[in-house]
């Protein structure tokens, strides 16, 4: 046994690297430090996806009934539906703001906005952000990055290459697959390690695309071939570490999968006593170094974005909206099953059997034979607490909605009392401030940063002109143009305005309507542009797809209607002026 352990250590030391083992050790250390957050996340998921209480902590109470009321799940779905509707309210949710007059020219603005809108639609950005929003709600933390893709497929019949999507593409990082340095002051400065589990075939494909993977792949295959002669105990004694999701190291090496750890950030080189910025270290098997290089992205370590729902002081792992509602969900399920068990006891109460009683079955019209001293008595159940339980459950559900920042107005439930239209709008805006703040935080911290990262990637990696759609506000029509990387190169910021616009448009329309219809309307009407007001209404009410707003289209159509009516009148007059030809009827021959 000792010989095999020594052989395994020798084999592992030949193919492994000190830096790679250090990265693997850091992943394990940082993953252990976030264990309380992981336990919190798992408890939330257990309650959200529970079909009964057997999979949650409520089962420990021992109730006969196992009903769960999916309130936590309903809040999750409600938040997600409202969040994604706020982020993508219409087709024009991207705005470019240049840093100089040259960078903010109309032609440059239309090229960048049109390119990003087109790529967002083609790459299904909305689908990716649907998943990121679920992370934002469930885990309280959403992580994303991007990559320039050149997708292609092959026709199995002709063998011809079929071009797929080409351009920057956003990707979600599972919150469980990224660890950060917990001592860092903020996420941007923190060193990050991202974990992926790939098949050996996928690593071989990476080796075809980049030479850096070839040597590491060969070393990984070598130790996998040799692992069959060693036992689980050999691995535990010789190497002494576990790989997540595989149970033990021997099971990992016996599988067809490879763990890839990618560490990015500023790294201190102890040997040379220097700080290396924006470095990337890729490791497989927690022991084999693939590469150490500068991060191959124009934004460096900024390429990974993070949004936290409720930030904790001195902690980079934020809390989600559902985390501190778990106890209330526990209470709701407890009361529901307590109530159900009490009702069961009322319908089927326990019996007190006294003295000598023949065996019997308790059912309607049952006959029970007893002796002189025998007796069968029902134990009464006090149900006065059942109505109180119903009231408490309703109160808990209402408070959970409020605590999660999901106003009842967003669900179409009107608060009590008679109110004017302005009062209703004001109350709705006030009730939705938590919701508005949380979705704007996600939009700024995640979507805005990722869009700018995608644009930087497109400028660096793009090599051909692409046809994109742009919208001309003056013509009120969609046009198409060719865009190159030179058209996209500018100094400025891409800003998604969906969530910020969503919270303002209802209030703006309400105020505008009040001014136009009031005494001030007569004073300001000569100074208000009807064309721009039409554009505002089209944008706020999401009417662009119907092509309703076009300059002076109403006058044009009115003239067309007048011309058509005159044409019909002229045709009618001409028909009336023509003589009526009388039909000659011939009689029988004489």
Backbone CA torsion sign across 508, 513, 514, 520? positive
Please answer whether residues 207 and 214 qualify as being in contact, where contact means their C-beta atoms are separated by less than 8 angstroms: yes
Residue 535: both structure tokens together: 């554009």
pLDDT (tens digit per residue) in 165-184: 889 999 999 999 999 988 88
161 or 275, greater pLDDT: 275
Tens-digit pLDDT profile for residues 375-431: 877 777 677 777 788 888 999 988 898 888 876 554 444 555 554 544 555 555 555
Q: Looking at the predicted structure, is the pLDDT value of residue 447 above 70?
A: yes
Neighbours of 16 (CB within 10 A): 20
Alpha-carbon distance 477 to 135, whole Å? Answer: 38
Which pLDDT band holds residue 242 (cuts at 50, 70, 90)? low
Residue 32 buriedness (CB in 10 A; 0-12 / 13-18 / 19+) = exposed
Q: CA 423, 427, 431 angle in degrees (round to 5)?
A: 175
pLDDT of residue 417: 55
Rounded to whole angstroms, how far apart are CA atoms 301 and 277?
9
pLDDT band at 139, cuts 50/70/90? Answer: very high
Confidence at 93, pLDDT banded by 50, 70, 90: confident
Which of 376, 384, 388 is CA-nearest to residue 352?
376
Cβ count near 398 (within 10 Å): 12
Task: Collapse the DSSP code of 283 into the 3-class scheme (helix H, G, I; strand E, B; otherwise coil) and give the result.
Answer: strand
Provide the H-helix boundaries in 418-552: 421-431, 433-442, 449-461, 485-488, 498-516, 519-524, 530-540
Query: Both tokens of residue 134?
Result: 């679920």
Torsion of CA 43, 190, 132, 307, to 10 degrees: 90
Mean pLDDT confidence for 35-61: 92
Segment 470-513, tens digit of pLDDT: 766 555 566 778 888 888 888 888 888 876 655 566 667 767 77
* pTM recorded for the entire structure: 0.80
Higher pLDDT, 423 or 136: 136
Contact between residue 337 and residue 58 where contact means Cβ atoms under 8 Å apart: yes
Interior CA angle at 496 toward 491 and 499, to 5°?
150
Name the band, by pLDDT with cuts 50, 70 and 90, for residue 13: low
C-alpha Rg value of the chain to the nearest Å: 35
> What pLDDT shows up at residue 413?
47
Q: How far apart are the first and last CA of the chain?
A: 138
Phi-psi region of 375 (alpha: psi -120 to 50; beta: other; left: phi over 0): beta
Decide: helix, strand or coil at residue 221: helix
Q: What average pLDDT score do residues 100-118 get?
A: 86
CA angle 78, 81, 82 (to 5 degrees): 85
pLDDT averaged over the chain?
81
- What is the signed CA dihedral for 329, 332, 337, 340, rounded to 10 degrees? -150
- SS3 of 265, please? strand
Per the model's pLDDT, the better-predicted residue between 44 and 547 turns out to be: 44
User: SS3 letters for 191-223?
Assistant: CEEEEEEEEHHHHHHHHHHCCHHHHHHHHHHHH
Report the distance separating Cα 243 and Cα 254, nearest Å. 12
Helix 421-431 × helix 433-442 angle, to 10°: 50
469 band by pLDDT with thresholds 50, 70 and 90? confident
Closest Cα partner for 410 from 80, 72, 70, 71?
Answer: 80
At 582, is the pLDDT very low, low, confident or very high (cuts 50, 70, 90)?
Answer: low
- Please answer whether residues 257 and 204 qualify as being in contact, where contact means their C-beta atoms are separated by less than 8 angstroms: no
Confidence at residue 466, expressed as pLDDT on a 0 to 100 scale: 81
Confidence at residue 140, expressed as pLDDT on a 0 to 100 scale: 94
Distance CA 70, CA 46 (A): 11
What is the average pLDDT across 582-588?
Answer: 58
Q: Rounded distance, CA 406 to CA 81, Å?
A: 11
In the predicted model, is pLDDT for residue 38 greater than 70? Answer: yes
| pLDDT above 50 (res 356) | yes
3-class secondary-structure state, position 16: coil
């Amino acid at each position: 046994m000792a010989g095999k352990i020594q052989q395994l250590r020798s084999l592992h030391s030949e193919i492994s690297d000190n830096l790679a083992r250090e990265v693997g050790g850091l992943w394990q250390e940082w993953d252990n430090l976030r264990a309380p957050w992981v336990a919190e996340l798992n408890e939330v998921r257990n309650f959200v996806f529970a079909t009964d209480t057997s999979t949650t902590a409520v089962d420990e109470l021992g109730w006969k009934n196992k009903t769960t009321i999916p309130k936590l799940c309903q809040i999750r779905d409600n938040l997600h539906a409202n969040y994604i509707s706020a982020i993508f309210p219409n087709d024009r949710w991207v705005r470019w703001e240049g840093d100089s007059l040259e960078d903010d020219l109309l032609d440059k603005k239309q090229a960048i906005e049109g390119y990003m809108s087109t790529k967002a639609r083609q790459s299904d950005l909305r689908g990716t952000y649907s998943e990121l929003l679920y992370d934002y709600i469930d885990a309280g933390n959403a992580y994303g990055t991007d990559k320039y893709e050149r997708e292609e497929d092959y026709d199995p019949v002709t063998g011809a290459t079929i071009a797929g999507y080409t351009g920057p593409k956003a990707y979600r990082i599972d919150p469980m697959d990224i660890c950060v340095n917990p001592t860092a002051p903020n996420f941007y400065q923190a060193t990050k390690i991202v974990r992926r589990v790939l098949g050996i075939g996928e690593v071989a494909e990476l080796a075809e695309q980049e030479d850096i993977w070839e040597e590491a792949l060969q070393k990984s295959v070598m130790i996998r071939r040799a692992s069959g002669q060693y036992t689980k105990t050999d691995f535990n004694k010789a190497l002494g570490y576990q790989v997540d999701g595989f149970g033990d190291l021997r099971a990992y090496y016996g599988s067809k999968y490879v763990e890839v750890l990618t560490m990015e950030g500023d790294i201190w080189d102890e040997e040379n006593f220097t700080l290396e910025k924006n470095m990337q270290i890729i490791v497989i098997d927690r022991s084999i170094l693939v590469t150490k290089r500068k991060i191959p992205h124009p934004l460096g370590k900024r390429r990974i974005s993070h949004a936290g729902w409720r930030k904790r002081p001195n902690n980079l792992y934020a809390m989600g909206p559902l985390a501190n509602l778990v106890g209330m969900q526990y209470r709701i399920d407890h009361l529901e099953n307590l109530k159900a068990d009490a009702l069961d006891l009322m319908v089927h109460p326990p019996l007190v059997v006294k003295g000598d009683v023949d065996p019997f079955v308790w059912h309607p019209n049952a006959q029970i034979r007893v002796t002189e001293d025998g007796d069968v008595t029902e134990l009464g159940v006090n149900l006065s607490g059942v109505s109180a339980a119903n009231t408490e459950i309703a109160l808990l559900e209402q408070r959970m909605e409020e605590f999660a920042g999901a106003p009842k107005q967003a669900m179409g439930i009107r608060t009590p009392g008679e109110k004017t239209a302005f009062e209703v709008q004001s109350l709705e805006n006030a009730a939705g401030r938590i919701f508005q703040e949380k979705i704007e935080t996600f939009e700024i911290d995640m979507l805005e940063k990722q869009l700018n990262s995608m644009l930087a990637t497109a400028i660096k990696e793009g090599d051909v002109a692409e046809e994109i759609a742009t919208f001309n506000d003056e013509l009120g029509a969609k046009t198409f143009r060719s865009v190159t990387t030179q058209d996209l190169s500018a100094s400025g910021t891409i800003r998604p305005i969906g969530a910020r616009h969503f919270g303002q448009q209802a209030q703006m329309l309400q105020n505008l309507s009040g001014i136009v219809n009031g005494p001030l309307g007569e004073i300001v009407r000569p100074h208000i542009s009807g064309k721009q007001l039409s554009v505002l209404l089209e944008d706020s009410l999401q009417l662009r797809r119907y092509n309703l707003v076009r300059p002076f289209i109403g006058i044009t159509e009115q003239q067309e209607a007048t011309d058509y009516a005159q044409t019909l009148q002229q045709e009618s007059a001409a028909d009336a002026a023509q003589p009526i030809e009388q039909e000659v009827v011939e009689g029988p021959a004489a």
